[in-house]
Amino acid sequence: MKSIIYYFSATGNSLFISRKIAENIENSQILSMVSEMRKDNISPDAEKIGFVFPLYFSGIPLVVENFIRKINIADIGYIFAVVTAGIPVTGAALSIVDKLLQNKNKRLNYGSYVKMVDNYLPIYDIPDQKEQIKINQKALLKVEIISKNINDKINKKTLEITPLLAIQYKPWKKKKKEFDSVFFIDSKCNGCGICKKVCPTSNIKLLDKKPQWFGNCEFCLACIHHCPQKSIQLDKKSVYKRRYIHPEIKLSDIIEKI
């Protein structure tokens, strides 16, 4: 019984969770949504499929929405979703996924959240390393429960207060072309081009060895968190904030799946 886990990950949280779930599910593999979207047809040869991705503005990343709209799931028997989030109770992601699946005459069988280190710099500060370790250790315990539920084909979704939470998601989507207007670089930029390599939408180009953004941004903040010089900023406060990449995910793991 084959399972495929499709993931979207900017700083490694969702990739890490995908790997851990795959380790606990026999005959499973993980695939990048970004890479798979390049195919003309996405028709998984599996009995179970899952989507693992971060929470965005109480909803789902636009690349995840587009992926679910494109994938052929007519022959899939069991579908699950796992959402990584700094504050899981603020999500309506599972309900959004379920609605997208209903448009394909399917339903989300199982859905859960995993608390991870929150990397949303516009609002939050990245916790220190000690707190990061605590969060990631608890996440592993949650993954064991999630994996068992998926193996047992449990039909259950975490309860969400959908109408209230979805209010901010819809207007957020409409601002996609404005997402990257807040980014700027400071004098530390050395033109290494890593920001371009980690961008899941190929939205960054180097002009005179400096990054420029072109209005097709997911606001995943991969460019900010992976910048080795910490030179990409989004406001004056971000200069003083920590950056975050999951400690068990390498830069090459992100780049090779873009």
**pLDDT lower than 70: segments of the chain:** 162-166
Task: Look at residue 163 in the predicted model and tell me its pLDDT.
Answer: 60
Q: Which DSSP string do the residues of 89-116 spell out, in sequence order? A: GG--HHHHHHHHHHTTT----EEEEEE-
Contact 33, 64 (CB under 8 A): yes
Residue 158 is which amino acid?
Answer: T
Helix (H) or strand (E) holding 131: helix 129-151
Task: Look at residue 19 in the predicted model and tell me its pLDDT.
Answer: 97
pTM: 0.95
Question: Cα(153)–Cα(42) distance, rounded to whole angstroms?
Answer: 23
Question: Cα(188)–Cα(196) distance, rounded to whole angstroms?
Answer: 16
Task: Look at residue 165 in the predicted model and tell me its pLDDT.
Answer: 66
pLDDT digits (tens, 9 = 90+) for 19-72: 999 999 999 999 999 999 999 999 999 999 999 999 998 899 999 999 999 999
